Amino acid sequence: MQIFVDGEPVDAHERESLGVALALSGRLALRRSPVAKTPRGLFCLMGVCQECVVHVDGTAIASCTEPVRPGMRVTLDKLAREVEAAVPSRSERS
């Protein structure tokens, strides 16, 4: 089956988690830490740590526990992009 990650088609298999599908497609950094800006991805693989949160069809979910379904639309690092757009950079503030 296919899912769409940031608009790009990605192959996935029935009954696999979204987190696994993303990792197998080479997407290991799913978001960035809001403070340190360091990459975050799969960690606990049971939905506790929230390090692998992505947006699916506009809703934030832990990708490690979400089963793939055909046509799902996944957005990586949506929150970080929204924060960056809303907060002026240092060069813009000077």
Q: What is the pLDDT of residues 33-54, one digit of tens each?
A: 878 888 899 999 898 999 999 9
CATH of the domain at 56: 3.10.20.440
Mean pLDDT, residues 16-23 taken together: 96
Number of folded domains that form the chain: 1
Residues 6+ apart with CB under 8 A from 53: 30, 31, 60, 61, 62, 63
Domain that holds residue 42: 2-93
pLDDT at 33: 86
pLDDT tens string 46-92: 989 999 999 999 999 999 999 999 999 999 987 666 656 665 555 55
